[in-house]
Structure 1
Amino acid sequence: MGTLIQASRPWERLAMDFKGPLPASGSYRYLLTIIDEYSRFPFAFACHDMSSGSVIRCLGLLFVMFGYPASIHTDRGAVFMSQDVRAFLLQRNIASSCTTPYRPQANGQIERLNGVIWRAITFWLKTRGLGLDKWTWVLQGALHAIRSLLCTTTNEIPHDRLFRYQRRTGSAQSLPAWISTPGPVYVRRVVRPSKYDLLVDKVQLLHANPEYAHVKMPDGHETTLSVRHLAPCGEADEAGSSTEVPTVRPPSDLYALICSTEVGLICSTEVLTVGPPSPPHRSHDSIGTDVPSQTPELIRTSTGEDLETPAGSSDVYQTRTGEKVDDRCASVGSNSLIGVTCFPAFCILAC
C-alpha cells in the first residue's frame, strides 16, 4: 500500500476530477472540479462533455491566472490518461500522477469536493426558487461561499491559506448603527498645536460606507475621512452633561514599612512619633559617683505601643511584646513623622 503524498506549500499539488452527468443547463452537463491540496481552495468549470479538449481549455484558463503547479493528481479516467492531456502537462513541466484502480480514497479531497459543491449549488437554487437546470447560474456564488468557509482540517479559510490575505465578502461586512445613521459623531483631531487642545472634534456625519465617511466639519466645509478616525457620541454627551474623572489623592500620613531583616518579611505599617530626646537619668552609687541609669528608654508609636531600648544597647528597640526592631529601621528626630521602607538586605529611610 503506497504512501499518500501531501502538499507542503500552496499551488504545489492539484487534484482534478469530473462530476456528471448533471441536469442539463443549456448545453452544459458536466463539471470539471479542481482543488489545491494544500489550501483546499476549489475551482469548478462547466463543460459540455468529458473530452481532453475541455480539460485542456479549463486548465489553460486556470494556469493563466495562477501559474503552473508542480503536479496534478487524477483518477484513471480515460480523458486524464489521454495522450493530449499528458502532452499538455509535459510541455509545461507539470508532473502527473493517478490513483490505483478501484480506489477513489486515493483522491479523497476532490471526491469530497464533488459532494460539497453540489450541495452548495442545490442550496443556492432552493433559496432563490430556481430549478436544477439553472445550476450554472449559481456556480460561482457556491464557489465563493466554499472559499470563504473555515476548513476544519487546516483550521484556516481556503482563500487565506492560499493567498495569505483576508478575503473580503459582501455578506460578512456590516456597519454599526451609529455609522449607518446620519448624526453627530466625534472625529479624532490629527493636528494639535498644543497639548492642552481637545483630542476630538464634534462633526456631523452625512453618510458612510465600510471604509470611509463623509462628514461636515464645525467650520462648515465637508470632507471624507476614514471610519477609523470616528467614534460615536453618547447620550450623555449629546445632552451636554459631562462626567468627572475621579482623581486619586495621596494619603495624608507617611507610612513606615517595618520589616524583619532576618527573615525579610514585612511585619507592620505604622508611624513613629518621637519627641525630643530627654536627658539620661543618672543615679549615684555608694561612693557618690554618677552612674548612668540602666532604665530602658521608651519610644511611643502612633498606635500606642512603646518601643524600649534594652539596657546597654543603643541599636535595638524592643517592644513590650518581645519583638525587636533594629534602629536601622527607625530614625529619631524632633517631633517628626518618620517613614521607613525596609528590604531584606537594606532599609531605605524616607522622612
Structure 2
Amino acid sequence: MSNTVVSDIAELSPEWLSAALDAPVHTVRAETIGTGQIGTCHRLELTGDGVPERLVAKLPAVDTGVRAMLAGAYRGEVRFYTDLAATVSVRAPRCHYAALGEEGNFTLLLEDLAPARQGDQIRGCTPGQALDAVRNLADLHAPRWNDPALLDLEWLGHSDEAQARMLSELYGPAVDIFVADLGHLLDDSDNDTLRGCVDATEQWILARSERFTVLHGDYRLDNLMFPDDGVPGVTAVDWQTITVGLPARDLAYFLGTSLPPALRREHEHHLVTAYHRRLVERGVDRYAFSECWDDYRFGSLQGPLIAVFGCAFGTRTERGDRMFATMVARSCAAIRELDSLAVIR
C-alpha cells in the first residue's frame, strides 16, 4: 500500500488511488463539496475492481499559510482514524486511507455517508435525533473512560495551567469582538452571561480533571450525519478538534447548542439519563447519575467558548454569523437555567 501524502486533488489519479486502496482503480471523477475554509473536501466516484463506488477525500487548505496554522488540527483528525477510532465504539466514517506529512499536509480517504443528511445547527434537531446523538456520544466516551494511556499521547491535547491562562486571556477580547459584531442578535441577559463565563473560564478549564476521556470537541449538528430514512444511526464527522477532557463537556455542548431552549428544558433530563445509562451499559462504573447531571451543568460553558472563538477568529459568513449567534443564545440560556456558573464557584 502507498504511504504517500497527496495535498492536491489533481494528484488523486487512478494509479495513485490503486496503490492507496490496494486494488485496481480504472477511473476517478472528483467533485468539490463543502466550502473549503479549513480544508478541501471532494467526493470521488470510482470504477475498478473491488473498490468503493464513492469515497470522500479530505485534503488540507489550498493556502499554505492556513495549512501550516491548522497543522495541529489536521494531525488530530488523521491520528483519530489511525490510532483511536478502533478503540472506541462511536459511529464515524470508515477510513480507507490516511497519511500525514509535514507542514500541515495530509490525505484522508473516507467512507461516503450519502444519502445521510447533515444536521442543521440553526434549525436544531428533534428529541429523537438528540437521543440518537447522545447515545453515540457515550459510545465515544465509555471505552477510554479515565484511561491513563490517553495522557501519554503527545498529539492528543489536554489542558494545563498555561493553556487555561492563555484561553482565559484571549476569551475576553474574543467576547468583545463577538458582542460588537453580533450582540444585536442576543438578549442583554446573554451578553451578561458571556461576561460571567469569561470570569470563570480559567478555573472551569482546569476543574474536574479526575474524570476524562476522548472528546470530539465540536460535537454539534453540523458535524453529525443522520440517516436519510429517519432511523437511528447518526455518524460523527470532522474530528479535527479531538482532545481529552471532562466527558460531559461534549454532552452539554451538544444539547445546549442543538435544541431550542424550550425543547431542551422539556427533554434534557431524559437525554442526560439516556447518555448515563449508555455509559453504564458500556462498562463505566462508580459514576452516579447525580454526578453526571452535575457534570452536565458544569459543562455548559463549552457552548459559548467554542462559538465565540469560532466567530471571532474564523472566516465570517452570513450563515456563520447566524449560526454562532444561535449557538451562543441557546447555550447562554442553558447556563442560566442550569445555574452553571454557581457550580464552578
- What's the TM-score once normalised by structure 1's chain length? 0.19
More strand as a share of residues: 1
Q: Which structure has the larger Rg over C-alpha atoms? A: 1
Higher relative contact order, structure no. (Cα contacts within 8 Å, ≥ 6 residues apart): 2
- What's the TM-score once normalised by structure 2's chain length? 0.19
